[in-house]
Amino acid sequence: TQLLKQSPQFLSIQEGENLTVYCNSSSVFSSLQWYRQEPGEGPVLLVTVVTGGEVKKLKRLTFQFGDARKDSSLHITAAQTGDTGLYLCAGAYAGGTSYGKLTFGQGTILTVHP
Amino acid sequence: EAGVAQSPRYKIIEKRQSVAFWCNPISGHATLYWYQQILGQGPKLLIQFQNNGVVDDSQLPKDRFSAERLKGVDSTLKIQPAKLEDSAVYLCASRHRKTEAFFGQGTRLTVV
């Protein structure tokens, strides 16, 4: 079974704090994507990481792909109330019968309090 | 560029009734996915199409769920008969080769 485990499942913090969300698997991915989803909407892509060890920054968000391409992390610096939402990681498989398959973690619900 | 379109946005039905959802992917995207998302959880893949062929439907409850993608463009997902546990958001996504997947807004289904 190909599983993606996200942690923590819930995160409640004050505005201005930093946080990290983790995404782990025993499978190797060709790429890993992070999405943010607000209530009543579909997931919106934040970033795609492809190369092992890759680090990408998007304003206050930093994404890292593990060297072995099995895990990833999302770090938010100085969280704002607008960061509140469901954060999802999704791994894409490259080969065999799983080609193109996109598997999601269970998500991290982030609440940032003013 | 137009995004993934889904309809309806909301649907309320009684258990044992039938329901169908429609998805129009981004033009030129060969891969189309249907996901089921329970409130507060990550999306679960139901079926993946490559053009009009099924690539993966291992998690589709085939006794009640069916999906088709005629002509490799639009797709429909049907539930017949619906159960209470089918209440969820049904998301459609499309993807072009190795690029990222883009999602529609989803259809929120409530089975009462």
What confidence score (pLDDT) does residue A51 get? Answer: 92
Which of B68, B94, B58 is closest to A45 using CA atoms? Answer: B94
The answer to whether B43 faces chain A, any CB pair under 8 Å, is yes
Of A4 and A20, the one with more pLDDT: A20
Per-residue pLDDT tens over the stretch B65-88:
999 998 889 999 999 999 999 999
Per-residue pLDDT tens over the stretch B84-107:
999 999 999 998 876 788 999 999
Q: State the average pLDDT over residues A22-41.
A: 91
What confidence score (pLDDT) does residue A39 get? Answer: 86
What confidence score (pLDDT) does residue A55 get? Answer: 97
Amino acid at A1: T
What confidence score (pLDDT) does residue B1 get? Answer: 61
Per-residue pLDDT tens over the stretch A35-61:
999 988 899 999 999 999 999 999 999
Which residues of A touch chain B, with CB atoms under 8 Å apart?
Answer: 4, 6, 30-31, 33, 35, 40-45, 48, 86, 88, 90, 97-107, 109
Question: Rounded to a whole number, what is the distance in Å from the CA of A69 to chain B's nearest CA?
Answer: 16
Per-residue pLDDT tens over the stretch A70-107:
999 999 999 999 999 999 999 987 665 555 678 899 99
Give the separation between CA A78 and CA A18, rounded to whole angstroms.
5
For the CA atoms of chain A, what is the radius of gyration?
A: 14
CA of A111: how far to CAs of A13, A36, A42, A73, B99, in Å?
6, 13, 18, 18, 30
Which of A68, A47, A69, A49 is closest to A59 using CA atoms? Answer: A47
DSSP chain A: ----EEE-SEEEEETT--EEEEEE-SS--SEEEEEEE-TTS--EEEEEE-STT-EEEETTEEEEE-TTSSEEEEEESS--GGG-EEEEEEEE--SGGGTT-EEE---EEEEEE-
Distance, C-alpha A92 to centroid of its chain: 13
| Strand order through the sheet with B75-79 | B5-7, B19-24, B75-79, B65-68
What confidence score (pLDDT) does residue A99 get? Answer: 59
Encoding tokens for residue B22? 């429609």
Query: Residue B101's beta-bridge partner residues?
Result: B95
Contacts of B30 (CB under 8 A, 6+ apart): B50, B51, B72, B95, B96, B97
Is the predicted pLDDT of residue A1 greater than 70, yes or no? no
Substitution target in B10, B32, B41 with the highest count of A β-carbons within 10 Å is B41
- Tokens 């463009």 sit on residue: B73
At residue B52 the predicted structure's pLDDT band, cuts being 50, 70 and 90, is confident
Per-residue pLDDT tens over the stretch B11-44:
999 999 999 999 999 999 999 999 999 988 899 9
Contacts of A80 (CB under 8 A, 6+ apart): A15, A60, A112
Question: Can you point out the beta strands (E) in B1-112?
Answer: 5-7, 10-13, 19-24, 31-37, 44-50, 53-56, 65-68, 75-79, 88-95, 101-103, 107-111
